[in-house]
Amino acid sequence: MKDLFFKNNQKAMLFFLWLSVVGLFLTENFRALLSIAMIGFTLVGLLSAKPKFWFYNLNNNKTLLFLILSFLVVLPSVIYSKNLAYFGLRAQILIPFLVMPFAYAQVKTFSEKFRIIVSLSFVFGVFITSIQALIYYYFNQAEVNQAYLESRVMPAIVSHHPTFSLMCAFSIYLLYDFLKLLNTKIFKILVLFVAVFLIIFLHIFSVRIGIIAFYGLVLLVLYEQILLKKQFIIGLSILFISLLIAFFTYNYSPTIKNKIANTQNDIDNYKSGGSANNQSLGSRLISYKNAIELTENSSWLIGCGLGDVEDLNNKIYEIKYPDITKKIIPHNQFLYYLASIGIIGVLLFAFCFYFPIFKQLNNFKLLAFYIVISFAFLVEAFLTTQLGVGFTIIFILLFTNKGLKTY
């Protein structure tokens, strides 16, 4: 039985990581699935090595160790947090950053075949979700077009539209990377079709951060193809296709036109001092100001405490912005942590979280994912939700090359 387990433990981890990807798309209707998959992944990893070697294996894989440290930096703030219930909720959501890297440290690096299976499953989920969203749009065009003037977008299975737009942008990069491995013409055409479809959808979906992340990835591709590989035709063709799609969607898509109008209205309204109630961009800008004010009123060094950031943030809303009905936490991961754990905590978190990419600058899939997540951090407190944490940890682990022996 023991030999059978060790013979198939990699397959078991593949299954649970694949199930985690499925869970990303079902967080609205089956929230427990993502947690179940992560627990399964962790248990298989822990059972793959003797307990006496657990910490040795972790210490032998510094990238995974630093991911764990990026979670641990928030824990000291429990000492000066008054709302321990909120602190416990935030820490609970972050637990995958503690247990999953620890479990992965106990097994061999995932094979390329393993990574392709999980990656294509993710791309397939994004593709199906985008089709569902477009079908809804086709039958409800007037309603959806109006929604874009009101800081809303077309409904999708993954209802948190900033996250789904980022998932879509990263899927396009995965297809580009997969395209380089194919030799069969028909499969190349199929992958290229899906990639172009997702690029068109991403622009029609018209979520600002997803489009920005996409063009950030285009710059990465241009760097790889033109500067490193000297493949000028391929690089310029990718840029031309992307800009061509942007041109046509800008001129012919009501959603992107309405989104641009909504953005300009948000900016004008904020500059004139108008109410930011139900204003997406205005609300975010106010949340950034609140983060700075919370830090100034507590401590620049250690913050106000992760447990109290929401309560103190709500008090600022009540005093300064009583008209705003939806009181959002600071929608920037770095500012959220600045208010919660201070500048010391932010710097420690940033160093630990980005450590894997410092060690693997030539790992372009990992670099591409960090580009996507970095854009996410600028507009969301991304690691305060199960979806954000799940999306982040799954793909960092999937593309991290450990390269060291485990026992």
Contact yes or no for 179/195 (Cβ under 8 A): yes
> 31-40, pLDDT tens digit by residue?
899 999 999 9
273 torsion bin: left (phi>0), alpha (psi -120 to 50), beta (else)? left
Average pLDDT over residues 290-316: 95
Distance from C-alpha of 383 to C-alpha of 301, rounded to nearest angstrom:
21
Q: 33 burial class (0-12, 13-18, 19+ CB within 10 angstroms)?
A: middle
- Which tokens hold the place of 258? 């309405």
- Which tokens hold the place of 71? 């979670």
Does 404 have pLDDT greater than 60? Answer: no
pLDDT for res 405: 58
> 74-121, pLDDT tens digit by residue?
999 999 999 999 999 999 999 999 999 999 999 888 888 899 999 999
Average pLDDT over residues 222-229: 91
Does 402 have pLDDT greater than 90? Answer: no
- What contacts 306, CB < 8 A, 6 or more positions away? 74, 77, 78, 81, 86, 87, 90, 91, 340, 341
pLDDT for res 10: 84
Under DSSP, is residue 150 helix (H, G, I), strand (E, B) or coil?
helix
Average pLDDT over residues 360-367: 91
User: Among residues of the chain, what percentage have pLDDT more than 70?
Assistant: 98
What length does the chain have? 407
pLDDT for res 84: 96
Does 276 have pLDDT greater than 80? Answer: no
> 311-329, pLDDT tens digit by residue?
999 999 999 988 888 889 9
Contact yes or no for 160/385 (Cβ under 8 A): yes
pLDDT for res 263: 86
> What is the pLDDT of the chain when averaged over all its residues?
92
327 torsion bin: left (phi>0), alpha (psi -120 to 50), beta (else)? beta
Confidence band (pLDDT; 50, 70, 90) for 360? confident
Distance from C-alpha of 277 to C-alpha of 282, rounded to nearest angstrom:
8
